[in-house]
């Protein structure tokens, strides 16, 4: 029997795939992305070499994670910061709540962070009576709508300007025909007070730098700098895979991330933060914590064939290239990380039994692998997930029996040839018409098999 997430995915996918308004918005936005990225990539002197170097560096990190993570911890704590470790989402939530209690915090300002989405931080803080507000404009918009981010880079990609204008009109009384600039200015006014009054600033980390004990943050709006400057406490929540060996590696990874993410040479603001405010510094938090999150990442690390998934730098390129994502959208996946990379890692992070269906949400065209800035072999790892799901017994009895019968029949040509095309077509129509899809006609099987026709046409005795 299909799991509930699989059934929901199937139902939602069918609806979204034929939602023409949704498709129009997504195709428009992704086409703009494609144009910008094409220009950005052309500026690399040797893109292939850069991607290979990125792959090599991330390989080295994942093979020596037990060295680089303690190095980061030691170097960060030398400057007065604190490193905390969270095995799962619940532990991460509790660590943040403990800090909030110690500080008597009532409000939190957040920057865009997929790891905080991963642990459902906003919802958790709300249950504790803490006001948490997103400061990234796209995240702010989807928060106002009560939605999750649609895309790992552009959270509100699924909305057009008219829909956002309507939202702001209903929430804040702005004109229904407000321009993008007017809406941005309104959000800026609303968020300024949040920045200056928040007790805690919470961010993610694009990279954790081992040799300096610093975090690197990249953005286009400046909201991260405000989130890490005004509050007295800064908490950075980062997956353990975000580590890189040296600050000099940013010379490679920042351009790769910016170009594949938005087509820019570099994002507008790039910050390196190495701890709380030091003596003689005029701004920055009084206390800084980095929470290193596992939450299933070591499960991926343990899978030799799928370990590459941890090389991901969250550029979103594979989402924008994927024909499945472009038809069914980000919310349909019902998980933090959507698209090909999300389909790869989610079964290991949230359970193979419940989310193995995502590994089948792929045409295996290989476009995701082609566009990846660190050369992750995504489509082959999706195949490895499918293999593991079968090996681990995450299949129904009907599926196991069906494939056993099929394998027995298909490996015995005489059995296949004995059954005529009329019977085969009846069998297909009776048992597979529904699974083939109501918008597609079943293929018609020939009355005679290929081997029979070959013998008739080529046997000199016939």
Domain boundary residue, one of 279, 295, 311: 295
- The pTM of the full predicted model, rounded to 2 decimals, is 0.91
- 72 plus 213 within the same structural domain: yes
- Average pLDDT, integer, range 398-412: 82
Q: Beta-carbon neighbour count of residue 168 at 10 Å?
A: 21
pLDDT (0 to 100) of residue 1? 41
Confidence of residue 423 (pLDDT cuts 50, 70, 90): confident
3-state secondary structure of 443: coil
In this structure, the dihedral spanned by the alpha carbons of residues 66, 67, 69 and 75, taken in order and rounded to 10 degrees, is 160
Domain boundary residue, one of 295, 328, 355: 295
- Which position has the higher pLDDT, 307 or 403? 307
Query: pLDDT by residue (tens digit) across 193-233?
Result: 999 999 999 999 999 999 999 999 999 999 999 999 999 99
3-state secondary structure of 214: strand
- Average pLDDT, integer, range 183-188: 95
Domain residue limits at 58: 43-295
Per-residue pLDDT for 413 more than 80? Answer: no
Q: What does each C-alpha distance from 262 to 257, 259, 298 come to in angstroms?
A: 8, 6, 30
- 147 plus 259 within the same structural domain: yes
| Residue 209 domain-assigned (yes or no) | yes
| Residue 184 domain-assigned (yes or no) | yes
Query: pLDDT by residue (tens digit) across 353-375?
Result: 999 999 999 999 999 999 999 99
- 192 plus 82 within the same structural domain: yes
Per-residue pLDDT for 459 more than 80? Answer: no
Query: pLDDT by residue (tens digit) across 229-284?
Result: 999 999 999 999 999 999 999 999 999 999 999 999 999 999 999 999 998 888 88
Phi and psi dihedrals of 209, rounded to 5?
-100, 115
Element (H, E) at 282: none
**Total number of domains in the chain:** 2
Are 375 and 256 within 8 A, CB to CB? no
| Residue 121 domain-assigned (yes or no) | yes
- 89 plus 201 within the same structural domain: yes
Per-residue pLDDT for 442 more than 90? Answer: no
pLDDT (0 to 100) of residue 445? 86
| Residue 25 domain-assigned (yes or no) | no
- 110 plus 252 within the same structural domain: yes
Quick one: tokens of 389?
A: 């799901």
Q: Beta-carbon neighbour count of residue 64 at 10 Å?
A: 14
Query: pLDDT by residue (tens digit) across 314-350?
Result: 999 999 999 999 999 999 999 999 999 999 999 999 9
pLDDT (0 to 100) of residue 314? 96
d(CA 435, CA 146): 34
Q: What percent of the chain has pLDDT over 70?
A: 99
Residue 314's nearest CA partner among 215, 421, 411, 217 is 217
| Residue 13 domain-assigned (yes or no) | no
| Residue 326 domain-assigned (yes or no) | no
d(CA 271, CA 209): 12
Residues in contact with 307: Cβ distance below 8 Å, sequence separation at least 6, in sequence order: 62, 300, 301
d(CA 1, CA 429): 21
- 281 plus 411 within the same structural domain: no
Are 315 and 257 within 8 A, CB to CB? yes
Q: What percent of the chain has pLDDT over 90?
A: 82
Question: Mean pLDDT of all residues in the chain?
Answer: 93
- 93 plus 208 within the same structural domain: yes
| Residue 422 domain-assigned (yes or no) | yes
**3-state SS track over 225-237:** HHHHHCCCEEEEE
Buried/exposed code over 425-454 (b: 16+ C-beta within 10 A; e: otherwise): beeeeeeeeeeeeeeeeeeebeeebeeeee
3-state secondary structure of 78: helix
Using DSSP bridges, classify how beta strands 269-273 and 214-219 pair: parallel, antiparallel or unpaired: antiparallel
| Residue 357 domain-assigned (yes or no) | no
- Average pLDDT, integer, range 384-397: 91
pLDDT (0 to 100) of residue 342? 97
Domain boundary residue, one of 295, 326, 356: 295
Residue 105's nearest CA partner among 263, 288, 231, 219 is 231
Quick one: tokens of 168?
A: 């702001």
- Which position has the higher pLDDT, 439 or 148? 148
CATH code (residue 97): 3.40.50.10420
Query: pLDDT by residue (tens digit) across 92-144?
Result: 999 999 999 999 999 999 999 999 999 999 999 999 999 999 999 999 999 99
DSSP 64: T
**3-state SS track over 309-350:** HHHCCCCCHHHHHCHHHHHHCCHHHCCCCCHHHHHHHHHHHH
Per-residue pLDDT for 2 more than 60? Answer: no
3-state secondary structure of 450: helix
Quick one: tokens of 181?
A: 């600039």
- 290 plus 404 within the same structural domain: no
């Amino acid at each position: 029997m299909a799991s509930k997430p699989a059934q929901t995915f199937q139902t939602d996918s069918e609806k979204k795939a034929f939602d023409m308004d949704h498709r129009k918005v997504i195709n428009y936005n992704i086409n703009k992305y494609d144009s910008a990225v094409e220009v950005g990539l052309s500026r690399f002197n040797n893109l292939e070499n850069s991607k290979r170097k990125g792959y090599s560096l991330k390989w080295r990190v994942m093979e020596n994670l037990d060295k680089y993570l303690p190095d980061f911890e030691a170097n960060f704590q030398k400057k007065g910061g604190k490193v905390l470790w969270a095995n799962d989402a619940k532990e991460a939530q509790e660590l943040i709540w403990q800090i909030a209690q110690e500080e008597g915090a009532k409000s939190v300002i957040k920057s865009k962070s997929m790891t905080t989405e991963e642990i459902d931080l906003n919802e958790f803080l709300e249950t504790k009576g803490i006001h948490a507000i997103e400061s990234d404009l796209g995240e702010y918009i989807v928060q106002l709508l009560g939605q999750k981010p649609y895309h790992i880079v552009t959270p509100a990609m699924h909305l057009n300007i008219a829909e956002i204008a309507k939202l702001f009109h209903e929430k804040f009384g702005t004109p229904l025909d407000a321009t993008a600039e007017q809406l941005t200015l309104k959000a800026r006014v609303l968020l300024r007070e949040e920045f200056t009054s928040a007790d805690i600033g919470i961010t993610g980390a694009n990279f954790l730098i081992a040799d300096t004990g610093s975090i690197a943050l990249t953005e286009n709006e400046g909201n991260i700098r405000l989130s890490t400057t005004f509050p007295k406490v800064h908490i950075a929540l980062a997956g353990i895979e975000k580590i890189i060996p040296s600050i000099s590696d940013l010379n490679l990874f920042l351009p790769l991330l910016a170009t594949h993410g938005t087509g820019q040479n570099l994002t507008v603001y790039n910050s390196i933060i190495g701890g709380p405010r030091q003596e003689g510094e005029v701004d920055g938090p009084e206390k800084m914590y980095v929470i290193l999150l596992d939450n299933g990442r070591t499960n991926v690390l343990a899978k030799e064939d799928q370990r590459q998934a941890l090389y991901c730098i969250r550029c979103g390129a594979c989402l924008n290239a994927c024909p499945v994502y472009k038809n069914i959208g980000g919310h349909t996946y019902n998980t933090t990380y959507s698209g090909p990379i999300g389909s790869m890692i989610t079964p290991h992070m949230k359970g193979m039994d419940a989310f193995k269906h995502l590994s089948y949400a792929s045409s295996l065209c290989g476009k995701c692998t082609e566009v990846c800035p660190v050369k992750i072999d995504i489509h082959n790892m999706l195949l490895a997930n499918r293999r593991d799901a079968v090996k681990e017994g995450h299949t129904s009895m009907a599926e196991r029996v069906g494939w056993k019968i099929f394998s027995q029949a298909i490996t015995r040509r005489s059995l296949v040839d004995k059954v005529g095309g009329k019977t085969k077509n009846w069998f297909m129509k009776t048992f597979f018409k529904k699974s083939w899809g109501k918008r597609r006609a079943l293929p018609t099987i020939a009355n005679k098999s290929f081997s029979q026709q070959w013998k008739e046409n080529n046997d000199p005795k016939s």
